[in-house]
Amino acid sequence: MDLNFTPEDEAFRAEVRAFLESVPPHLRGVSRRELSKEGQLEWHRMVFKQGWVAPAWPKEYGGTGWTTTQRYIWQEENAAYEVPIILPFGVTMVAPVIYSFGSEEQKAKFLPRILSGEDWWCQGYSEPGAGSDLASVRTKAELTEDGKHYIVNGQKTWTTLAQHADWIFCLVRTDPNAPKRQMGISFILVDMKTPGIEVKPIITIDGGHEVNDVFFTDVKVPVENRIGEENMGWTYAKVLLSHERTGIAGVARSKKGIERLKEVAGQELLDGVPLSEDKGFMSKVTELEIDLTALEFTELRTLAAESAGKGPGPESSVLKIKGSEIQQRLTELTLEAVGHYGFPFLGDEQLDGWNESPIGPDYAIGSAPSYYNTRKTTIYGGSNEIQRNIIAKMILGL
Amino acid sequence: MDFSFTEEQTLLRNTVERFVQDKYDFETRAKIIKSDDGWRKDYWQQFAELGILAAPFDEDHGGLGGSAIDIMVMMEELGKGLVVEPFLPTVVLGGGFLRHGGTAAHKAEVIPAVIGGECVIAPAYAEPRGRFNLADLETTAKKDGEGYVLNGHKAVALGGPWADKFIITARTSGGQRDEQGVTVFLVDKNTDGLSTRDYPTVDGYRASEVMLDNVKVSADAIIGDVDNGLELVERVMDEGIAALCAEACGVMKQLVDKTIAYSRERKQFGVAIGSFQVLQHRMVDMYLNYEQSVSMTYMVNLKLGEDATERKKAASAAKVQIGRAGKFIGQNAVQIHGGMGITEEMDVGHYFKRITMIDTQFGNVDHHMRRYAALSE
Ligand SMILES: Cc1cc2nc3c(=O)[nH]c(=O)nc-3n(C[C@H](O)[C@H](O)[C@H](O)COP(=O)(O)OP(=O)(O)OC[C@H]3O[C@@H](n4cnc5c(N)ncnc54)[C@H](O)[C@@H]3O)c2cc1C
């Protein structure tokens, strides 16, 4: 056991930093909410040019062949430079399903376009009636008589960034009479331009538009767009759900978040003295930092096990629970730190190209909306209650 | 000992409750907070007609002579409806300053205007660098002949965009955080040199930054005593806290009830999610937090008349309880609603937003823990 990085790792870190130094300022330090579609794509193309979009993929499909340590360094430096994330829907969600279970044609058609950012993907799993209980999806896909197409009818919901998407991957019901609900589900890929698809925004309590309802009315999907066998979609999706553990805990970004929080506390005054000198407040920050250190080492242990060949398992639930709770606590303490200036609500026009001086200090802007928005992290990706159920069952054997 | 309400109090509660039910449903409120004005001036007139604005004032000035408990029952109902019209700034705080510190002329002129719905008051006590310390003032008021000249920047004055008058705290002597040297002024919004920047708040209200650039006022503008205003400010703010706690109880009641109702309706895995024991216990804890908050709200409202130290401790203790309970209840209400909890279209998220900001208003948990501890030394 040791914590040292090898000289090769340090050389790699230098290479990563050299690349990140070249990222233009307008792509740094912007939250996802502020980042436009164009900004997101610009970033994706930069990383693509560098060949680093998909560290976790097998090399034959365009993966980097990095060690887990290198992947860790990449995450850490990304957070330190506050560059955007590579959106997970294509690269970390659908691609592993395609290269693990897809046909050669599907791999050749979709993987290069995911890497290059040519196709923007979204995830069509959840439905109004199927949230935590995902196996109850009802969106129906029926084969046409000639067996060449599925006709899809139904509704997906909470679909993140569907408003920008070119493709959506969906769990659909192909056998309503299967003996177990999980056995009648197929995994299909749908071109968002197909007639019969309608995307409607869902506005969240922070005023943002990141999720949508997606309606399907007699949408015609070629059978070639089904992954693997009919009615086997649940099995494929489950593999995906626990895939790619690097980054799920968001450790590197939360570390940066704590740094930022301390900066805020250093500027905010309490009786004329910086809040960062207040024992009461800082003990909460310290507690959070220690929690995060524990999570960092839990993640490192998980990664070590993974690189030793142990496949992804229920341990990812540990990372999800602790990671999301820390992210929430971070926004909570930031809102607390800014005092009265948590109140002003500045609309988008004031985030982007606003010429007047903002209301209150810069560091306070958006702290309440960000706190509101971050409540999502314990809800999505399998709620924390569901993650605890998984741990109880799969790890504790209860 | 008696925890029952008088007939008048029940009547007041019913009046506000009915108003909220009939005229302040969720869709109506959504329209109000999105509108250019951000409030319904005609509703404010109706408040006046219903006697809501008259509750705490003396009968001599046209009021109903009500007590803190009268305010409490109304605030609770206003909280249930997330009513944004400025009852707290104008009647509770503005009214408090006028009642406890106003001159005979203020009382004779301004109180009837408040009662009649013709005068909205926004207290501007906070400052950009003062955090929650009411004495930490950079705004100055310098003697100028018979009157004063005000200079400074007051922060986040809730209700400011609708105000006809501001109540402004300023330093007339002493150092920046000295207890001595604080003076309270009642200033017309249209006074030369006073300007505002108005904006919506994250919980659906409107607020203003108030800039004072050589604002000349006469000595008649002073509320209370020159240099000795801090005790008055603290008293009024404690009354504000007591009222705010009642509003918070209304908000929390809704969050608890709506979550229980949702958990009965929402089915996953073939059963109502309310049947999962882990959620049941969570909702039990929400309920416990709510009940403890109601108790503390009664406590502070019953103790507002006690000596200053007792009153301050009661207010801080209640505010700590509300802040903590509000966070627990708000976060878990959203969590149990799943994705629906964070949508703009569902009411629960709006209650969550308000209960969150109630912790900041008049000082957060940390501030009031510190204040309570200092008073207990
Ligand atoms: C911002 C955001 C983005 C999202 N993006 C996507 C996306 O891109 N694609 C997609 O397909 N989905 C997406 N989702 C959907 C997300 O996966 C679901 O919200 C999540 O699965 C929870 O489902 P639900 O909202 O229906 O809540 P419900 O399942 O109704 O749950 C409500 C509450 O009940 C609890 N609960 C449910 N079952 C149990 C149980 N057995 N034991 C104990 N407690 C239980 C839950 O934990 C929760 O607290 C997104 C959601 C959000 C909020």
Phi, psi (rounded to 5 degrees) for B210: -115, 120
How many structural domains does chain A have?
3
pLDDT in tens, A92-118: 999 999 999 999 999 999 999 999 999
β-strand partners of A149: A222
**Ligand 1 and B335: CB distance under 6 A:** yes
| DSSP assignment string, B213-249 | EEEEE-GGGEES-TTB-HHHHHHHHHHHHHHHHHHHH
Domain extent listing, chain B? 7-119, 123-228, 231-376
Burial bucket for residue B53 (CB in 10 Å: 0-12, 13-18, 19+)? buried
Cβ contact B356–A272 (<8 Å): no
Q: Is the pLDDT of residue A69 over 60?
A: yes
Strands A140-143 and A149-156: antiparallel
- Cβ neighbours of A51 (radius 10 Å): 11
Between CA B340 and CA A149 the distance in angstroms is 34
What residue in A sits closest to B323 (Cα-Cα)?
A: A336
Q: B267, B273, B334, B346: which to mutate for ligand 1, most atoms within 8 A of CB? A: B273
Report chain B's mean pLDDT, rounded to a whole number.
Answer: 97
Say yes or no: A255 and A387 in one domain.
Answer: yes
What residue in A sits closest to B339 (Cα-Cα)?
A: A379
The helix (H) or strand (E) run that includes residue A124 is: strand A121-124
Cβ contact A270–B131 (<8 Å): yes
Between CA A305 and CA A299 the distance in angstroms is 10
Asked whether residue A308 is domain-assigned, the answer is yes
Long-range contacts, stretch A88-93, CB < 8 angstroms, 24+ apart: A88/A244, A89/A120, A89/A121, A89/A122, A89/A123, A89/A160, A89/A161, A89/A165, A90/A114, A90/A119, A90/A120, A90/A121, A91/A53, A91/A54, A91/A57, A91/A115, A92/A56, A92/A243, A92/A244, A93/A121, A93/A123, A93/A169, A93/A240, A93/A243
Question: CB–CB of A136/A205 below 8 Å?
Answer: no
Say yes or no: A207 and A307 in one domain.
Answer: no
Would the ipTM clear 0.95, i.e. be above it?
A: yes
Residue with tokens 């242990």: A301
Which residues, including other chains, have CB under 8 Å from residue B171's CB and lie 6 or more apart?
B137, B138, B139, B140, B141, B181, B182, B183
Question: CB–CB of A111/A167 below 8 Å?
Answer: no
Say yes or no: A177 and A271 in one domain.
Answer: no
pLDDT in tens, A326-341: 999 999 999 999 999 9
Radius of gyration of chain A (CA): 22
Strands B147-158 and B140-144: antiparallel
Say yes or no: A315 and A357 in one domain.
Answer: yes
What residue in B sits closest to A284 (Cα-Cα)?
A: B366
The gap from C-alpha B355 to its chain's centroid, in whole angstroms, comes to: 12
Asked whether residue A240 is domain-assigned, the answer is no
pTM for the whole structure: 0.97
pLDDT in tens, A255-285: 999 999 999 999 999 999 999 999 999 999 9
Total H helices, total E strands in chain A: 13, 9
Q: How far is CA B295 from CA A106, B5, B309, B321, in A?
A: 64, 15, 20, 10
Strands B121-124 and B165-171: parallel
In this structure, what DSSP letter does residue A127 have? Answer: B
Question: CB–CB of B209/B155 below 8 Å?
Answer: yes
Interface size A-B, in CB pairs within 8 Å, comes to: 137
Asked whether residue A113 is domain-assigned, the answer is no
Q: B7-119 maps to which CATH number?
A: 1.10.540.10
Among residues B290, B248, B295, B296, the alpha carbon closest in space to that of B75 is found at B248
Between CA B283 and CA A101 the distance in angstroms is 43
Phi, psi (rounded to 5 degrees) for B238: -65, -35
Asked whether residue A104 is domain-assigned, the answer is no
Write the residue with the smallest CA distance to atom 33 of ligand 1.
Answer: B336
Task: Work out the minimum CA distance from B88 to partner chain A, whole angstroms.
Answer: 16
pLDDT band at A246 (very low <50, low <70, confident <90, very high): low
* Third-level CATH fold of B123-228: Butyryl-CoA Dehydrogenase, subunit A; domain 2 (2.40.110)
pLDDT in tens, A111-166: 999 999 999 999 999 999 999 999 999 999 999 999 999 999 999 999 999 999 99
Between CA B307 and CA B328 the distance in angstroms is 32
Q: B231-376 maps to which CATH number?
A: 1.20.140.10
The gap from C-alpha A180 to its chain's centroid, in whole angstroms, comes to: 30
Cβ contact A203–B331 (<8 Å): no
Give the end of a domain, one of A86, A104, A137: A86
Total residues belonging to chain B: 377
Between CA B56 and CA A369 the distance in angstroms is 36
- And the tokens for A212? 């949508």
Say yes or no: A252 and A224 in one domain.
Answer: no
Q: What is the pLDDT of residue A243?
A: 60
Determine which of A102-106, A228-232, A237-241, B208-212 has the lowest per-residue pLDDT on average.
A237-241
Residue with tokens 């062949």: A65
Q: What is the pLDDT of residue B377?
A: 87
Q: Is the pLDDT of residue A247 over 70?
A: no
Cβ contact B268–A132 (<8 Å): yes
Q: What is the pLDDT of residue A349?
A: 47
Say yes or no: A195 and A313 in one domain.
Answer: no
- And the tokens for A190? 């749908």
β-strand partners of A221: A150
Between CA A84 and CA A43 the distance in angstroms is 7
Bin A296: left if φ > 0, else alpha if -120 < ψ < 50, else beta. alpha
Range of the domain at A45: 7-86
Asked whether residue A325 is domain-assigned, the answer is yes
pLDDT band at A307 (very low <50, low <70, confident <90, very high): confident
Question: CB–CB of A230/A101 below 8 Å?
Answer: no
Determine which of A24-28, A65-69, A224-228 has the lowest per-residue pLDDT on average.
A65-69
The helix (H) or strand (E) run that includes residue A371 is: helix A367-373
Say yes or no: A214 and A186 in one domain.
Answer: yes
Selected residue of A125, A204, A205 to mutate for chain B interface (largest B Cβ count, 10 A): A205
Among residues B322, B309, B304, the alpha carbon closest in space to that of B358 is found at B322
A244 included as an active-site residue: yes
Say yes or no: A15 and A129 in one domain.
Answer: no
Say yes or no: A129 and A201 in one domain.
Answer: yes
CA-B340 nearest atom, ligand 1: 25
Asked whether residue A100 is domain-assigned, the answer is no
Between CA B238 and CA B4 the distance in angstroms is 23
Between CA B158 and CA B169 the distance in angstroms is 15
Between CA B228 and CA B226 the distance in angstroms is 5
Determine which of A246-250, B264-268, B287-291, B331-335 has the lowest per-residue pLDDT on average.
A246-250
Residues of B in contact with A203 (CB under 8 A): 343-345
**Ligand 1 and B279: CB distance under 6 A:** yes
Q: A158, A211, A234, A387: which to mutate for ligand 1, most atoms within 8 A of CB? A: A158
pLDDT in tens, B190-232: 999 999 999 999 999 999 999 999 999 999 999 999 999 999 9
Q: What is the pLDDT of residue A235?
A: 94
Give the end of a domain, one of A205, A231, A257: A231
Q: Is the pLDDT of residue B84 over 70?
A: yes
pLDDT band at A37 (very low <50, low <70, confident <90, very high): very high
Say yes or no: A261 and A386 in one domain.
Answer: yes
Say yes or no: A292 and A383 in one domain.
Answer: yes
Among residues B339, B346, B335, the alpha carbon closest in space to that of A127 is found at B339
Question: CB–CB of B72/B297 below 8 Å?
Answer: yes
Residue with tokens 């299967």: A178
Print the SS3 string covering A49-111.
Answer: HHCCCCCCCCHHHCCCCCCHHHHHHHHHHHHHCCCCCCCHHHHHHHHHHHHHHCCHHHHHHHH
Q: What is the pLDDT of residue A347?
A: 67
Asked whether residue A58 is domain-assigned, the answer is yes
Among residues A26, A17, A25, A73, the alpha carbon closest in space to that of A50 is found at A17
Say yes or no: A71 and A197 in one domain.
Answer: no
Between CA A234 and CA A13 the distance in angstroms is 39
Among the options A76, A244, A299, A315, which is catalytic?
A244
Question: How far does residue A131's CA lie from ligand 1's centre (Å)?
Answer: 5
Between CA A106 and CA B20 the distance in angstroms is 58
Residues of B in contact with A344 (CB under 8 A): 156, 199-202, 207
Between CA B152 and CA A373 the distance in angstroms is 34
Among residues A191, A188, A368, the alpha carbon closest in space to that of B204 is found at A368
Identity of the residue numbered B360:
T
